Amino acid sequence: MSSITDDIREILLSHGQMSVAISTLDDDADLYQNGLTSHASVNVMLALENNFDIEFPDSMLRKSTFQSVAAIAEAIEILGIESAEH
């Protein structure tokens, strides 16, 4: 069974178009400093929404939300908890 971070890494591999292999980065590494562009982060956001059945509110569409694998995982956990409550 894959973890949230495994799924995030798979999505970054498919849609992140990064200049560095995601497998070489730890969960706290800065994705923007490793080639994640603003447009690629749109693709990553849409793929995350489909994969986890969530929707990022406009207020969360900040660079800090997509700054690292750990930051994305934290955002997904927050949104997952919110959707479970509604």
Site residues, other proteins (CB under 8 A): 15, 17, 37-43, 45-47, 49-50, 58, 61-66
Task: Round to whole Å and give the CA distance between 20 and 78.
Answer: 28
Comparing CA positions, the residue from 44, 54, 62, 58 lying closest to residue 78 is: 54
**Cα gap 84→86, rounded to integer Å:** 6
Cβ-based nearer residue to other proteins, 3 or 47: 47
Nearer to other proteins, 3 or 38 (CB): 38
Give the SS3 label for residue 40. Answer: helix
Question: Looking at beta carbons only, is 7 or 49 nearer to other proteins?
Answer: 49
Q: Quote the least distance from Cβ 16 to other proteins, whole Å.
A: 11
